[in-house]
Structure 1
Amino acid sequence: MLRKNNLTYFITICWMLLLANLYALQQPISFSSHLNDFYYNPALLSADKDNGIAVQTSFSDNDDFNIYLRSSSSISFAYLNNDKKYFIGNGSRIFKNFYLGTGLEFKKHKKTIKKIGIIYRPFDVSSFGIVAQGVNWKPDLTTEIAIRPLFFIRKYSSYLNLFFQQPISYDYEKDKYQDDDFIIGGQVEPINGFQIEASYINDKDRTYQIGCKINFSQFGTAFISERTSDNHSEYNITEFSERKKRSIFSIGKHTAKITISGNISQEYEGFSIFGHKSITDFEIIEQIDKAIKDKSINKIFIEIKLFTCNYASLEEIRNKLLKFKEQGGEIICYFEQTGRGGYLLASTADTIIMPESGMLNITGFYAETPFYKRLLEKIGIKIDVFKIGKYKSADEHFTQEEFTEPAYEDYRKLFDSYYETYIEEIAEARKIIRGTDALKEAIDNGPFTAEEALKYNLIDKIGYKKDAEELYKSKSTVKVTKGTVNLKNVYFKNYHWVEAPKIMVINAIGTIITGKSQKNPFSIPFLGRKFFGSDTFSEMIEKGKKDRNVKAIVVRINSPGGSALASDLMWHKIYQLNKEKPVIISMNGVAASGGYYIASAGTKIFADKMTITGSIGVISMRPNFSGLYSKLGINKQVIRHGKNSGMFHTCENLTDDETAKFNKLTKDWYNLFTKRVSCGRNGLTQNEVDSLGQGKVYIAREAEKCGLIDDIGGLYDAIEFARKIAGLDDYYEITFCPEPKQLFKGLTDIIDSRSIFYIPDFGDMIFHSDIDEDILKD
């Protein structure tokens, strides 16, 4: 709503325009007024996206009714009963703020009328429309210019729209185009959800229209009267749209339903021949954000089923739920069985319900790591290791029978931090008396039946799903909840005329490699299933760089590291782009070693509370299969030129010269690593980076204290900072790269031999943290 002083000024202007017959609108062609406007200009289908149905009826003629089915993503349809006409139309975006629409109008025993519409919007306060229609190559034309006079109050500029329309018809007798009677009009919304519409046609009958429209969120109804000097008619337009609009008043309160299940990942998985379904953490966060923005939603009902998700993503989802509660919302949670991660989300609820037969599987944190030294010795395989960093431990799985003391100390500290953070958050959310000590004692008695969970104050009620649903249907402390909504299907009308500036999110997920990104059907031990390629990353960066509508880029990293060369190529791309556009880093579950290498080039680094980062060090492993070949009775004869020619081959022991060269390369890469971090983190010298390095891993809070990251926060926090540093207001669009794959693109990826199976190159130095986020998944 407008402030009081602005509102008085606003209404005064509107009534002056009305009295002067200069205000109002009947079917403009350069902006949307009703869902049926695509019939007059099909370009509006892409310029003002909305889906729904509209029915127009006449109060004076029962046979005069029209039906309009609008779809911005496919063909739209209209049926005009009085004239027995059919219309189909489609619209598309040609380039930024320029839209084209085409349509065909059919009538029995009549020639087909073709329509072509164009809309161009150079600014958010002006729109130009042109429509050509006819049966031959000399069509009638209609041109229109629309403006928003309240441009000086940006927030309310869409509350008043004025237009001037000039029809131009072809005179076959004079064989030339001539101007017809012009139309002037507009639309005003003095209060949210209540619009007044009118138009004036400068013809001999001095025709004018005036009407009003009332919006109730997704439902709207308009009453319009058309009058001439000797005639008048009235009609009604009723419409149901997909997108929520400004409403004249709220129709009760609603409960939003969110189901947590399946594989929750950080990027769109695309098509799977196995029918595997996944949802991204951002999609869930976006659903909760819709509930925060939608004032008609006062409750969220969360049903937690079996799922997998890393703890950093759970933290982001949890923080959004807490923000909903901060704004006065209520959360009800139901689960039948869940574990640590599910309960981390459930603990945010005001009421937690589980059935008597349910199970709460909280027993603490547990992880196990395999060591293969004795197995490799038995089969005759030796691993040559070259590394810098006493905490660097990726090799120890193959060269030791258990972790060395520095590596174990690092892991122990990391696990302690995770456990303490988890306990603190649960104790605070559940308001447990005696706090963390009491919760630790309770967890030592887990897992819990429903009765035990109730005893330890881990849940609030024992009941089934129906009992939980009754809770959110009952009377709340403020208003009665009328029903439930699926947040996936909630969309809000975009009142802006120009396309939103973009913030691009680039997902850098998986082990870092050179070349193109790859995805194996099965996970490789210590390397995972996903491989993020430097060429793929470069293409994404170039795409964001060239798109003028992209004002900032957020690189979301979930990677334990990988190729040293690929890491440096990615670092350089970010460093160079930072000179033109801000690049913000958002660390998810793991951004360590090579993952931290590329992050250090960002303008600002955000990390989730549960993010594992650091591991600044270098390690390279070379398998030696000579012992295995001997056991199998295989003999290889070698011919060589160059004293280091056998460095990257695996059939014989390294020479002293080759060993020395490996050690030198490792030192050079470590020096480059610390140099790059120091360059990106301006407050740290190279010596300081070295003291923080040596392969040591950090949880986010520790990393913030020592200057390796800038702030604790998730993807939404990084996007919000990118918005501010790019100078954007609240109107912007978030785009993801890579984009979700369509069905046939997914099929071609499966058929493409390059993505069937990826094996890493042993000849590359490796920045790898040995942190497997799967051990910290629920």
Structure 2
Amino acid sequence: MKKSILGFFTLITVGFGQFVPNISVATVDDANATLINSAGLGLSRDFNMWITQPTHWTKLDSITYDFGFYGQEGISGFGFTHMQNGRDLLHSGSGKHLGGGFYLGNTSHFSSDGYEAIDMGLLYRGHSWFSAGLQWKNLWSRDRGGRQDQQFQIGVALRPFGNRLTVAYDHRFSSGPYGESSDFLDGGGIALVQAEVINGIKLFAGYDLGEMTKGVQVGISLGFGQMSVETFHNFDSNSDYVSPSLTGYFISKEKRRTVIKSKKPTFVELGFEQPMSDSPSPKAFFGPKTLTLRELVNEINDLAKNPDVDGVVLRADHYGSGAGMLQELVNALRKVKASGKIILAFLDSGSDQQYALACIADSIYLNSGGALAVTGSAFGIGFYKGLFDKLGIDAQFYRRGDYKTAAETFTRKELTETSREAYKAVLHDLQEFYSGMMKHGRGWTDEKLNEVYDELIFTAQMALEAGLIDGIYHPDEIEKKVKDIAGDEAVLVKFHKQPKQWEYDWESPAGPKIALIYAEGPIQPGKSQPSPFGGN
């Protein structure tokens, strides 16, 4: 009896697993984690879904299913399976990162005829080359014929040469219902190999050592970016089919490697129209979405690694945040440039800050009706002591420390030496930052930079003649400029419409961590008050 139950479980597991690239409990990290190892959901991928169907080239007609789909959004998974025996199964799972490379997950299964079960999964990703997983099936169950036997699948996987080659070994065991039996029956192992030697074409091979399922498994996957088609077949030693052959269709919000390479050069238009902050903000029902600096930098870093992107169109005149944020963005854009991609900057007009940002580009273009005001950095400080004296007002502030100078604008008529020292230090750093970007980006000497500062204001024609820009454009000519540089087939797409690239590497979260605490906003007296919308 136990052998027949084990045979049923083994074939169901193979049936769900063989049409997907992640057939080991140690490697699954997409929507199929809901069935194979729910801990894989804890890796929190963007939306993806598998749609599966069997091809009935099989000598077995008692164990198969007609249709199934399995989806994932973040750490949540869901699915539906229609079995040939008329049983429809619903699946719901979730995963969580426990820390140190460990992930825990669970999946619940329900059917209209009374079947219920809970599975548990564990995953370890402590290294980029090693992964291990455990699926505990039927931790709890209830069915018409009584509780189901527990099923265990333990797997390890290695990537000796990077993410294009994965070898894995899984072993299966079964036992009686939880709390009723401690005897284990060996269900045999599965040795697996997956290789992607050409972008978008993955080959799968495996050998099943199970007594009732022994045989060779082969499969192939064709990837087309955000979708792929895969098929798997299982043979015994006589080359006969011994379990259902399966075809799977995969769709994803993230983009995988593809067999089709677009010949059209793609340029991404990067603007800064959205408000930007350091700390995440609550989602607003009305008004524009606030983009965090961290999110923007991560997206620019993704552009550097995206093989489908040939260049960036930088709308530098839209930038209006601080110098600190600008430094982070410039560092990210330097990675884009170092990856061999072209950066083209377009300005309708601009001051030191916008022009300094544009200098990261290979070429700079200014609107024919625009102007550049490259004046250098300066501070303007107002004092109200004289006005208060005439009005008979005595401003009284308590101050602690020489550099606590905020009240001086109300109590003095000129800067103190400590204030002057502080302002000069900030001004010097700001000027060095902007002028350094200009000199490095345009190849200027100090003498050339001083000539620019002496001129102050430049029309488009003056800026072109002085070497501040490389060309003049009209507002409707940005795409034409891109085509002039990259060819007539070049396409220009918006920055935030680019799909995120699928992360193939097993990135380990283990090891020392840095806590990021956001402190943004004005400093105010008194205790903080809770907000009805969350936070203080």
Q: CA deviation at 1:369?
A: 1.2
SS in 2 for 1:319: helix
- Is 1:223 equivalent to 2:231 in the alignment? yes
The within-5 A match list for 1:173-212 is: 179=185, 181-189=187-195, 191=197, 194-200=202-208, 202-204=210-212, 206-212=214-220
Aligned residue number for residue 347 of structure 1: 359
Aligned residue number for residue 496 of structure 1: 506
SS in 2 for 1:309: coil
SS in 1 for 2:356: helix
Determine if contact 1:26/1:185 at 8 Å carries over to the other structure: no
Q: CA deviation at 1:28?
A: 3.5
SS in 1 for 2:272: strand
Residue 222 of structure 1 aligns with an amino acid whose one-letter code is E
Aligned residue number for residue 266 of structure 1: 278
| Residue correspondences, number | 491
Aligned counterpart for 1:381 among listed residues 394, 402, 415: 394
- CA–CA separation in structure 2 for the residues paired with 1:413 and 1:180: 73
Determine if contact 1:200/1:206 at 8 Å carries over to the other structure: yes
Determine if contact 2:175/2:181 at 8 Å carries over to the other structure: no
Aligned residue number for residue 88 of structure 1: 91
Determine if contact 2:37/2:105 at 8 Å carries over to the other structure: no
Aligned residue number for residue 657 of structure 1: none
Q: CA deviation at 1:244?
A: 4.6
Shift of the 51–308 alpha-carbon distance from structure 1 to 2, 3 Å rule, reads: same
SS in 1 for 2:380: coil
Deviations 1:390-446 (A, max 9, x none): x774453233212246644664565355335423421331235xx444444444544
Aligned residue number for residue 319 of structure 1: 331
Q: CA deviation at 1:163?
A: 1.3
Deviations 1:58-83 (A, max 9, x none): 4558x944333322344523354866
- Is 1:103 equivalent to 2:114 in the alignment? no
Determine if contact 1:42/1:100 at 8 Å carries over to the other structure: yes
The within-5 A match list for 1:351-750 is: 351-377=363-389, 378-383=391-396, 389=402, 393-404=405-416, 407-408=419-420, 411-412=423-424, 414-415=426-427, 418-419=430-431, 421-432=433-444, 435-464=445-474, 466-472=476-482, 476=486, 484=493, 486=495, 489-493=499-503, 495-496=505-506, 499-501=509-511, 503-507=513-517, 509=519, 529-530=522-523, 747-749=533-535
Determine if contact 1:66/1:80 at 8 Å carries over to the other structure: yes
Shift of the 297–387 alpha-carbon distance from structure 1 to 2, 3 Å rule, reads: same
Shift of the 281–419 alpha-carbon distance from structure 1 to 2, 3 Å rule, reads: same
Q: CA deviation at 1:161?
A: 1.7
Aligned residue number for residue 148 of structure 2: 139
Deviations 1:287-338 (A, max 9, x none): 2222223344331222245443221321232233233223322102233343
The within-5 A match list for 1:213-252 is: 213-215=221-223, 218-228=226-236, 231=241, 234-245=245-256
Q: CA deviation at 1:144?
A: 1.3
- CA–CA separation in structure 2 for the residues paired with 1:45 and 1:508: 28
Residue 156 of structure 2 aligns with an amino acid whose one-letter code is I
Q: CA deviation at 1:29?
A: 3.8
Residue 55 of structure 1 aligns with an amino acid whose one-letter code is I
Deviations 1:436-479 (A, max 9, x none): 444444445444443343333333333345532344456749x9
- CA–CA separation in structure 2 for the residues paired with 1:204 and 1:85: 26
Residue 234 of structure 1 aligns with an amino acid whose one-letter code is S
Unaligned runs of 5+ in 1: 1-23, 511-518, 520-528, 537-743, 750-754, 756-778
- CA–CA separation in structure 1 for the residues paired with 2:81 and 2:355: 53
Deviations 1:728-776 (A, max 9, x none): xxxxxxxxxxxxxxxx977134xxxxx5xxxxxxxxxxxxxxxxxxxxx
Shift of the 60–463 alpha-carbon distance from structure 1 to 2, 3 Å rule, reads: farther
Q: CA deviation at 1:131?
A: 1.4
TM-score of the two chains, using structure 2 as the length reference: 0.75
Aligned residue number for residue 116 of structure 1: 119
- CA–CA separation in structure 1 for the residues paired with 2:352 and 2:415: 26
Residue 188 of structure 1 aligns with an amino acid whose one-letter code is Q
Aligned counterpart for 2:168 among listed residues 161, 173, 187: 161
Aligned residue number for residue 129 of structure 1: 135
Shift of the 257–505 alpha-carbon distance from structure 1 to 2, 3 Å rule, reads: farther
Aligned residue number for residue 295 of structure 2: 283
Shift of the 123–507 alpha-carbon distance from structure 1 to 2, 3 Å rule, reads: closer
- CA–CA separation in structure 2 for the residues paired with 1:284 and 1:426: 23
Determine if contact 2:223/2:258 at 8 Å carries over to the other structure: yes
Shift of the 474–196 alpha-carbon distance from structure 1 to 2, 3 Å rule, reads: farther
Deviations 1:220-276 (A, max 9, x none): 332211235654653322312334556678655643332223443333344568846
- CA–CA separation in structure 1 for the residues paired with 2:30 and 2:290: 37
Aligned residue number for residue 7 of structure 2: none
Aligned residue number for residue 35 of structure 2: 39
Shift of the 40–474 alpha-carbon distance from structure 1 to 2, 3 Å rule, reads: farther
- CA–CA separation in structure 1 for the residues paired with 2:214 and 2:248: 23
* Richer in helix (by share): 1
| Identity across the alignment (%) | 17
TM-score of the two chains, using structure 1 as the length reference: 0.54
Aligned residue number for residue 672 of structure 1: none
Aligned residue number for residue 692 of structure 1: none
Aligned residue number for residue 157 of structure 2: 148
Shift of the 504–413 alpha-carbon distance from structure 1 to 2, 3 Å rule, reads: closer
Shift of the 239–411 alpha-carbon distance from structure 1 to 2, 3 Å rule, reads: same
SS in 1 for 2:315: strand
SS in 2 for 1:51: strand
Shift of the 131–409 alpha-carbon distance from structure 1 to 2, 3 Å rule, reads: closer
Shift of the 492–78 alpha-carbon distance from structure 1 to 2, 3 Å rule, reads: same
Aligned counterpart for 2:69 among listed residues 67, 70, 75: 67
- CA–CA separation in structure 2 for the residues paired with 1:496 and 1:117: 21
Shift of the 267–532 alpha-carbon distance from structure 1 to 2, 3 Å rule, reads: farther
What RMSD, in angstroms, separates the aligned Cα atoms of the two structures? 4.2
Residue 127 of structure 1 aligns with an amino acid whose one-letter code is G
Q: CA deviation at 1:154?
A: 7.9
Residue 73 of structure 2 aligns with an amino acid whose one-letter code is S
Q: CA deviation at 1:497?
A: 8.1
Deviations 1:642-668 (A, max 9, x none): xxxxxxxxxxxxxxxxxxxxxxxxxxx
Determine if contact 2:38/2:105 at 8 Å carries over to the other structure: yes
SS in 2 for 1:225: strand
Shift of the 354–76 alpha-carbon distance from structure 1 to 2, 3 Å rule, reads: farther
Shift of the 301–38 alpha-carbon distance from structure 1 to 2, 3 Å rule, reads: same
Residue 120 of structure 2 aligns with an amino acid whose one-letter code is G
Deviations 1:659-691 (A, max 9, x none): xxxxxxxxxxxxxxxxxxxxxxxxxxxxxxxxx
Aligned residue number for residue 621 of structure 1: none
- CA–CA separation in structure 2 for the residues paired with 1:315 and 1:506: 18
- CA–CA separation in structure 1 for the residues paired with 2:506 and 2:29: 13
Determine if contact 2:352/2:373 at 8 Å carries over to the other structure: yes
Determine if contact 2:81/2:90 at 8 Å carries over to the other structure: yes
Deviations 1:473-518 (A, max 9, x none): 56749x97566474675244254386444532434646xxxxxxxx
Q: CA deviation at 1:143?
A: 0.8
Determine if contact 1:89/1:104 at 8 Å carries over to the other structure: yes
- CA–CA separation in structure 2 for the residues paired with 1:53 and 1:280: 29
